[in-house]
Amino acid sequence: MKFINDNILTIVVFLPLAGAILLAFFPRRDRDVRYFALAVSLITLLASLHLTWYFVRGQSGFQYEENVPWIPHPNIHYHMGVDGISLWLVILTTFLMPLCVLISWKSIGDRVKEFFILMLVLETAMIGVFVALDLFLFYFFWEATLIPMALLIGMYGHGRKIYAAVKFFLYTMIASVFMLAAILWLYARTGSFDFVTIQGMIQSGQVSGFGNAALWLFLGFFVAFAVKVPLFPVHTWLPDAHVEAPTAGSVLLAGVLLKMGTYGLLRFNLGLFPEQARRNAPWIIALAIIGIIYGALVAMIQPNIKRLVAYTSVSHLGFVVLGIFSFTQLGVDGAVYQMLSHGISTGALFMLLGMIYDRRHTYELSEFGGLATPMPVFATFFAFIMLSSVGLPLLNGFVGEFMVLSGAFQAKQLYGILAATGVIWSACYLLWMYQRVFYGNVTKPVNSSLRDIDARERVSLWPLAIAALVMGVAPMLWLHSIDPAVSAALKQFSGVTQAAVLPARNSPAAPGPPLHADFARNGVEVIGR
Amino acid sequence: MIPAVDYIRILPELVLSIFGIIVMMVDPVLPEQSPKKPLGVIAVIGVLAALAATAYQPGFYGSAFYNTVSVDTFSVFFHVVVLLIALVVILISFEYLDVQRIRSGEYYALVLFGTVGMMLMSAAVELVLIFIALEISSISTYILAGMRRRAAESAEASLKYFLLGSFATAFFLYGVALIFGATGTTNVYGIAHYFQTQQASVLAYLAVGLMFVGLGFKVASAPFHVWTPDVYEGSPAPVVALMSTGPKAAAFAVLLRVLFATGAPGWFWMVWVSAALSMTLGNIGALVQQNVKRLLAYSSIAHAGYLLVAFAAAKQVGISAAIFYAASYAAMNVGAFAVIGHFASEGEKYVTLDDYAGLGRRSPLLAATLTIFLLSLIGIPVTGGFFAKFYVFSAALQSNLVGLTIIGVINSAIAAYYYLRVIVYMYMRDERVEAPVARIPAGLGVGLAISLVATIYLGVMPGRVLDYAIQSAQDLLK
């Protein structure tokens, strides 16, 4: 038991990679390959549940830490650990992975072995990003996510897949070299890549020349993360990548890869450069709000459903960035929560779209209409997930958005007012899309004979639907461990941390009936205690 | 009287020369039209024996033959690198020579002699000896470049390489003469002593410049790089694998030992400009290439630029970063050309990007291997190329070379595009021509495995090799 406890992060990170390596020597029998990939991803999920089980809630700081020297010169450590923020992102990754395997069961028929190898390698890299505490190790995993994802898009995507894959790769690659430069600068001045050490040295002012370089370092990290989030002017890779990617690729892209950006902003930009973060917050928030509104408006007019959902990510991730840069306990808590719930609901939306695509091989809105008649079960699932994405109270989307907006109001009222419109927009475009796809008469004859979803597809949707409900009803299960980590992250922004204890104001941001607003307020008070 | 230990200090060179002579002597005995594989086997044995001799050397550090050769950690490091390159090149040549119907036994002998020259370059501390070693390695590669004698472009490559190469060597020799004029010695230690104690004269500046021109040609750094694409395109692929890594590593060793470690005057700006130019011109040139060999030729210019960045950094960190880079570049580039040579098939027909379309489907293993080498050339983690770049840039930053680092970092982002294009063609495009893919023969398999293991090893556990590189840097600066 002790062995497992001490090495659990290594186990969780490298189980998928080990699976991928074994898979490489597997005979090319597609059925067995699929079962094996499913088994590996399920075992990884089980292993990652160990993290939640033994995680000491209500405690800030990193747990399950592993720290051994890896390379002596330069001083690189194999340093991993999770806190309340990264813990759930790891779980989100391992939770989505088996579902992604299931959803690709039939839609991937060609080069099946390579597909699952890439998926498993990608899983290792994604988990690694969230648990790495050595800047070098972080960069290592960060870059390592790039190749499998680009290959997944380019090899298994549709339409302009090569364009999308190359665009995705170049955007992220070019942005992340700036982060590498910043990391190298920090190493040159501190002699360490260790996140905790560097943070300590910066706080105690031991880094020479930091004052002049801080802005550039902040921007170096910021550019890399902003592209990944993606923040407003650099979001253009996202619709292309999403639309052309295979379903599982879209799910992981939206569900996990985008979170790497917001996680990085929270962990590194806030953690290492609090002063610069505060100074630059106004324009970053402005970009986030532009992203919220712009993403929503552009989503509304898309003729392609998948592109529509892709733009909702731009909008929803804007909320996350807004929450993070509000520097309020409530806002950041909400941002972390929104990351998780966006992973669940947008992941589920992409899975649902994949199911339509498997049947019709198109995403054009005009091709659909009245789908509720031939596919009632599918329509029900879709409605449920869509409402969770809209932010209907009692479902997961509401909690995060509500907390982010409350935090934004605490930071500055204007932010809250502007961002709150995003909630209305999201209701508009998603409900309108739902109406056009599912209601009315069946407009195209081919659609009248579509199969409803089968058992495998239901099995892959149920966990997400349940998660959406539980996250909406009992957010405390998550916030209990998120909250201490966030308050530790905000310690450097003293003065604003207390704000969270205040009961949330009855803001116009809460679209739900008073009952739910009360519920959320109670929730906030529970955190406060 | 020369002490016996001196012979041990040049034992690897001796062993390899003897094996080269054996190959030459066995060649006429074999029937004329038979494949020359037995000669290759002899050559492999020779390289392994030389490796064993090198492994024996660490007990005998010191200088030999009246202070003209110095055996230290630095020379041993480059011996091992050059020998491993030669080993892989010979292994991949088995199949290549068969397919191209090259029946020349001297091929293997020339590889061995060339290797002797390269090894000697890394150990010599006397400029005249360095010049001789340089000539041994160069002349062998000139001939090797023309081995596909039925192909016009191979003859063109050979001639071009020979003419421009001789021109460059003349520059080097001129520099040596001027150095002698300026310092009164051709011994590296004497020169170092002079540079450190006396004000450098105009003559010394000129000499350093001329020597840099000569060696800059050998490492294909801008603005002495123009020969590279044509020569790499025309030469046989395994020979390109050799000449893009072996003589380059050896020439870098000379640059390190003779110019960088001695503190040559006027060095910094020369290297700064050459590094910035090489990276930029190499990468921009590569962007538009359709021929994979030309693409990698431009990429090798760019990589020479990255390596030169280390030369502009502070001595201790710069030398160790450069040594590490040379080793990992050798691993990945030899590997890449091995795959290209195999895939080129008879008459090197299939060398354009279009021929690579759909390779991922036709030959998953070969494509995956090439992908790993290309990722390493981009500098993606888990590969040696990543750490190599990482060390170079962190050495540059530690020496406050912010401008050069930024140029380098931007360049490596540009470079990602054209390497990625190859990967895109292999995996994401449907094939237009049905280029045949032969089975992977044993020799190529072993050669690829060595390069692959080295690339990954340097990317995952770079600690030991880096420690060794740091040790070498210290020895060199003593």
pLDDT digits (tens, 9 = 90+) for A305-316: 999 999 998 999
**What mean pLDDT do residues A287-303 have?**
90
B381 with A140: Cβ contact below 8 A: yes
Contacts of A111 in chain B (CB under 8 A): 360-361
pLDDT digits (tens, 9 = 90+) for A146-163: 889 998 998 888 888 888
B424 with A174: Cβ contact below 8 A: no
Residue B83 has pLDDT above 80, yes or no: yes
Listed by number, the residues of chain A in 395-424 with a beta carbon closer than 8 Å to a beta carbon of chain B are none
pLDDT digits (tens, 9 = 90+) for A10-44: 989 999 999 999 988 888 788 888 899 999 999 99
How close does chain A come to B368, measured CA to CA in Å?
10
Is residue A288 within 8 Å of A344, Cβ to Cβ?
no
Contacts of B375 in chain A (CB under 8 A): 147
> Tell me, what's the pLDDT at A502?
38
A166 with B405: Cβ contact below 8 A: no
Residue A517 has pLDDT above 80, yes or no: no
Mean pLDDT of chain A: 85
B381 with A180: Cβ contact below 8 A: no
How close does chain B come to A155, measured CA to CA in Å?
5
% of chain B surpassing 90 pLDDT: 54
> Tell me, what's the pLDDT at A494?
64
CA count, 13 A, side-chain hemisphere, A368: 27
B405 with A181: Cβ contact below 8 A: yes
* CB nearest A162 (choices: B428, B463, B466): B428
CA distances from B290 to A344, B230, B341, B377 (A): 44, 13, 16, 18
Residue B144 has pLDDT above 80, yes or no: yes
> Tell me, what's the pLDDT at B160?
92
Q: Computed from CA positions of residues A206, A208, A211, A217, in that sequence, does the dihedral angle turn out positive or negative?
A: negative
Determine the residue of chain B that is closest to A150 in CA distance: B424
**What mean pLDDT do residues A245-270 have?**
91
CA distances from B121 to A50, B70, B193, B250 (A): 58, 11, 21, 6
Does the pTM surpass 0.80? The reply is yes
How far apart CA B285 and CA B229 sit, in angstroms, is 10
Test mutation, B356, B374, B394, chain A, max A CBs within 10 A: B394
How close does chain B come to A78, measured CA to CA in Å?
12
> Tell me, what's the pLDDT at A522?
52
Contacts of B413 in chain A (CB under 8 A): 170, 173-174, 177
* CB nearest A188 (choices: B397, B427, B461): B397
Using the Cβ of A177 and the Cβ atoms of chain B, whether some distance falls under 8 Å is answered with yes
Using the Cβ of A70 and the Cβ atoms of chain B, whether some distance falls under 8 Å is answered with yes
Which residue blocks in A229-328 are alpha helix, DSSP H? 237-244, 247-252, 258-264, 270-272, 274-300, 305-324
Higher pLDDT, residue A504 or A421? A421
> Tell me, what's the pLDDT at B33?
77
How far apart CA A400 and CA A342 sit, in angstroms, is 9
* CB nearest A155 (choices: B391, B412, B428): B428
Q: Name the strand (E) or helix (H) holding B300.
A: helix B292-312
> Tell me, what's the pLDDT at A528?
44
E-assigned strand segments in B20-97: 62-64, 69-71
> Tell me, what's the pLDDT at A503?
39
Contacts of A170 in chain B (CB under 8 A): 413, 416-417, 420
> Tell me, what's the pLDDT at A516?
45
Contacts of A165 in chain B (CB under 8 A): 424, 428
Smallest CA-to-CA distance from A350 within A266, A442, A245 is with: A245
At CB < 8 Å, which residues of chain B contact A? Answer: 360-361, 364, 375, 380-382, 386, 390-391, 393-394, 397-398, 405-406, 409-410, 412-413, 416-417, 420-421, 423-424, 427-429, 461-463, 466-467, 470
Q: Which residues pair with B126 in a beta bridge?
A: B187
Which residue blocks in A145-273 are alpha helix, DSSP H? 146-156, 161-190, 195-203, 210-228, 237-244, 247-252, 258-264, 270-272
Is residue B23 within 8 Å of B108, Cβ to Cβ?
yes
The three-point CA angle B346-B347-B353 to 5° equals 90
Contacts of B405 in chain A (CB under 8 A): 181, 184
> Tell me, what's the pLDDT at A122?
93
CB pairs under 8 A between A and B: 83
> Tell me, what's the pLDDT at A523?
53
The three-point CA angle A151-A156-A159 to 5° equals 110
Residue B374 has pLDDT above 70, yes or no: yes
> Tell me, what's the pLDDT at A445?
83
Confidence of residue B353 (pLDDT cuts 50, 70, 90): confident
**What mean pLDDT do residues B308-327 have?**
91
Residue B459 has pLDDT above 60, yes or no: yes
**What mean pLDDT do residues B338-356 have?**
85
E-assigned strand segments in B8-113: 62-64, 69-71
A147 with B462: Cβ contact below 8 A: no
Q: Which residues pair with B291 in a beta bridge?
A: B352
Confidence of residue A504 (pLDDT cuts 50, 70, 90): very low
pLDDT digits (tens, 9 = 90+) for B27-65: 888 887 777 888 999 999 999 999 999 998 888 888 888
How far apart CA B363 and CA B369 sit, in angstroms, is 10
Contacts of A150 in chain B (CB under 8 A): 420
* CB nearest B416 (choices: A73, A151, A170): A170
> Tell me, what's the pLDDT at A505?
40
pLDDT digits (tens, 9 = 90+) for B360-372: 888 888 888 999 9
DSSP A363-401: -BGGG---TTTT-HHHHHHHHHHHHHHHT-TTSHHHHHH
A73 with B413: Cβ contact below 8 A: no
Test mutation, A21, A71, A110, chain B, max B CBs within 10 A: A71
Test mutation, B353, B423, B425, chain A, max A CBs within 10 A: B423
Smallest CA-to-CA distance from B242 within B114, B106, B78 is with: B114
**What mean pLDDT do residues B470-477 have?**
89
> Tell me, what's the pLDDT at A496?
44
pLDDT digits (tens, 9 = 90+) for B382-401: 889 988 998 999 899 888 88
CA distances from A496 to A492, A501, B41, B420 (A): 10, 10, 75, 46
How far apart CA B343 and CA A290 sit, in angstroms, is 51
Higher pLDDT, residue A232 or A350? A350
Smallest CA-to-CA distance from A78 within A5, A16, A128, A124 is with: A128
Determine the residue of chain A that is closest to B367 in CA distance: A114
How far apart CA A475 and CA A473 sit, in angstroms, is 6
Is residue B117 within 8 Å of B51, Cβ to Cβ?
no
- The 3-state DSSP class for residue B277 equals helix
Contacts of A186 in chain B (CB under 8 A): none
Smallest CA-to-CA distance from A387 within A349, A336, A414 is with: A349
Using the Cβ of A143 and the Cβ atoms of chain B, whether some distance falls under 8 Å is answered with yes
Determine the residue of chain A that is closest to B414 in CA distance: A174
% of chain A surpassing 90 pLDDT: 29
Q: Computed from CA positions of residues A162, A164, A167, A170, in that sequence, does the dihedral angle turn out positive or negative?
A: negative
Using the Cβ of A180 and the Cβ atoms of chain B, whether some distance falls under 8 Å is answered with yes
Contacts of B380 in chain A (CB under 8 A): 143-144, 146-147
Question: In chain A, what is the straight-line distance between the N-terminal and C-terminal CA atoms, in Å?
Answer: 33
> Tell me, what's the pLDDT at B401?
87
CA distances from A458 to A103, A386, A434, A464, A474 (A): 10, 16, 20, 10, 24
> Tell me, what's the pLDDT at B3?
86
How close does chain A come to B318, measured CA to CA in Å?
13
> Tell me, what's the pLDDT at A525?
52
Question: In chain B, what is the straight-line distance between the N-terminal and C-terminal CA atoms, in Å?
Answer: 28
